[in-house]
Structure 1
Amino acid sequence: MATSKNGSPLTTHVLNTADGVPGARMALSLHRLEPQMVLWNLITIGTTDEDGRCSDLITREAFTAGMYKLRFETRQYWESLGHTSFYPYVEIVFTITDLDQTFHLPLLLSRYSYSTYRGT
């Protein structure tokens, strides 16, 4: 797979499926599991752009094999739209073994449900 235009091997895209719009301005963070101590280490924080995308999560150099999680601050997002949400946050945990690939993890979101998949 090709690398994104900015070189990040990991990208995400939030879609507000309830309203049919991008999940713009949603805070998120990327963490990597430190296996010896079983602790999540914060790698970066970010915010989705107006199109619901966040494409500068990690550099190719910092990207190593292991277990990661993306945490999306959904309560803040829904409150900014004047709504409440059943889920205060969403965490997607995944394992990276092949560092030569590029990974895209979309989040499809409503106030009472969410789904995700590995995209390209």
Structure 2
Amino acid sequence: MRSVITTHILDTHSGRPAVDVEVRLFKSASADVSAPDWQPMASARTNDDGRIIDWLGDRQREAGLYKLEFATGAYYAAQGLSTLYPQVDILFEINAPQEHYHVPLLLAANGYSTYRGS
């Protein structure tokens, strides 16, 4: 079953999925981006395809401010490498709770980017 919020990490240096990366999902109890009150929702590790697709099960979708927290430092350390970004946080807002939100991370040791996927 696909979760209401999913993610995928591609290591752009190796051109392969980033496997076994810890990712934590939070929702803010506040709608104020300048003063979020983060509440933990879920934690999981990316699978062999670099994805997390099942961490929320069939929970109801809610509008609001969310954060994905990627443990990128531990991922690179396990490979004997260092990174400029030991943790990547992606904040995003759900305005249409009936829609699916896929938030991928394109990762390199010294840079990253994201977009809304499908």
Q: TM-score, normalised by structure 1?
A: 0.90
Partner of residue 98 from structure 2, selected from 97, 100, 108 = 100
SS at match of 2:44: strand
Q: Tell me what 2:112 maps to.
A: 114
Residue deviations 1:59-90 (CA, integer Å, cap 9, x gap)? 34343110000000000000011100000100
Aligned-residue RMSD, C-alpha? 1.5
User: Identity percentage over the alignment?
Assistant: 36
Taking structure 1 as reference, are residues 18 and 7 closer, same or farther at Cα in structure 2, changes over 3 Å only?
closer
Moved over 3 A (4+): none
Counterpart CA distance in 2 for 1:22 and 1:103 is 19
How many residue pairs were aligned? 115
Q: Residues 10 and 16 of structure 2 are in contact (CA less than 8 Å); yes or no, is this contact kept in structure 1? A: yes
Q: TM-score, normalised by structure 2?
A: 0.91
Structure 2: any 5+ residue segments left out of the alignment? none
Structure 1: any 5+ residue segments left out of the alignment? 1-5
Q: How does 1:8-27 map to 2 (within 5 A)?
A: 8-27=3-22
